[in-house]
Amino acid sequence: MLRVKSSLRHHRRITTMGLALAVAAVTGLALVPACTRQDSAKAQSSLAATSEGRTLANQLSAVFEAAASKVSPSVIPIYAEQVVEVASPFGSPDSPFRQFFGDDFFKRFFGTVPQQDQKETVHSLGSGVIVSKDGYILTNNHVVHGADKLTVLLQKNEKYSAKIVGTDPQTDLAVIKIEGDDLPAATLGNSDELKIGEWVIAVGNPFQLLHTVTAGIISAEGRSSVGLADYEDFIQTDASINPGNSGGALADLDGNVIGINTAISTPSGGNVGIGFAIPINMAKTVMEDLISHGKVTRGYLGLVPQDINESLAAALNLKTTSGCLVGDVVPDGPAGKAGVQRGDVLTELNGEKIKDSVELREKVAMMQPGSTVKLTVLRNGKELTIDVKLGERPENAKAGEQQSPQQQPQMQEKLGLTIQSLTPALAQQLGYENQQGALVADVAAGSAGEDAGLQRGDLIQEVNRTEITSVDEFNKVVSRLKSGESAALLVRRGQVTFFTAIQVP
């Protein structure tokens, strides 16, 4: 009996398996192990993910393609030619070759006497951005500076001669003009709305490779103290910028120009992921002045602002390092006439917080002379509001008249010194009441200043027997020094004065 039941169960299993095989044969289904079915599901999921990834990649690629397609026709190569004089090694009457052989030798064997000055044409290539349909082009000043001939090449291989409309070396911007109609003008964006990490493309002509597009992100904003121009507020990007990109476009993913590529930071001459572009809002202001007046007019306060570090903030009983300290006031300047004093702390301009001296300089420079600004000032712990009617920055004045120690002159850097004005508060703190001079704010290790024995807090009162009463006077005197020369400094340290010699590297 048991064997019969067992046989029946075996028969049912066989019958069930047979039915399953029959169904599979009729429907075309394959019977696979459970583990195989799981592997198949993973493969299908991977294929779906790959498909989604390709779709996203293609969509991102399409965005870059559209941006490049929009802005590229507006970015053109600028060929500059400059005729320069090159001294001939045999042309000078003092040349040992000429003195030895004589003019007869050159006449006999070369048919002519060598000339002292020979002319040579130097060629260079930069980039520019067409900003109007009738042919105005925005570029860098260093692209066109000194050029005797400028030629622009459009993407259809159309050549145009260009003329310079105006240049502004202090921002390294220039506007040139070609005669044309319905030219591919770029769309200019708003650089004030940029965000760090935002995707951008750089378009230009690096290494004579015309119409090159590279991509990256905005690495930083408001870069200053780079040493490229007097007024700096650079956009920093890691989009590849190389020689030849200067004057080209930095554009967002909508194809709007948000900066003018200017320079790279590199130890090798090639791109290392740090490039700088002038914000288009600043460039537009300069461009409009150059087109309208042929020059740039800037607002002028007539003071020397400096940044506030933690030590200064503590010494002046300030709650924050924001704002800027007035290190000096230009006599009879707009700020001085309005009542601004040395030692004041400027905290707001027209109701907006002042972050540092660079921000103050840039904002004032972009304002029109004759306009009135409202300065919020801290003086002896009390807040004051002073209205200042801006003057026009003198053409022979450098941005240094309104610079902080961060934009210190090259000679200070060469000597390894950071010099600042002696304010009443610092004079009281350091015991220099009723004294005049230029205060040593810092001394670089291993520098000429350190070799001369200078220390932070020293007061330089004379340079080569010339009395020093301000930072400007110190800069003026030391700027005359040449490499290898030494200068005698009269230095006050506490209540003691002494002389020391400093040698220019």
Degrees, nearest 5: CA angle 397-366-194: 130
Q: How far is CA 97 from the centre of its chain?
A: 48
- Is-catalytic flag, 142? yes
For residue 345, give the amino acid letter: V
Other beta carbons within 10 angstroms of residue 58's beta carbon come to 11
SS3 of residue 27 by DSSP: helix
SS3 of residue 378 by DSSP: strand
Catalytic-role residue among 172, 233, 252, 307: 172
Minimal CA–CA distance to 408: which of 398, 397, 419, 399? 419
Catalytic-role residue among 246, 421, 447, 470: 246
Catalytic-role residue among 72, 74, 142, 442: 142
- Is-catalytic flag, 172? yes
- Is-catalytic flag, 254? no
For residue 378, give the amino acid letter: L
DSSP symbols for 452-502 = TT--TT-EEEEETTEE--SHHHHHHHHTT--TT-EEEEEEEETTEEEEEEE
| DSSP code for 432 | -
Minimal CA–CA distance to 335: which of 278, 408, 295, 393? 393
Provide the token pair at 495: 């209540």
347: left (phi over 0), alpha (psi -120 to 50) or beta: alpha
Which residues belong to the active site? 142, 172, 246
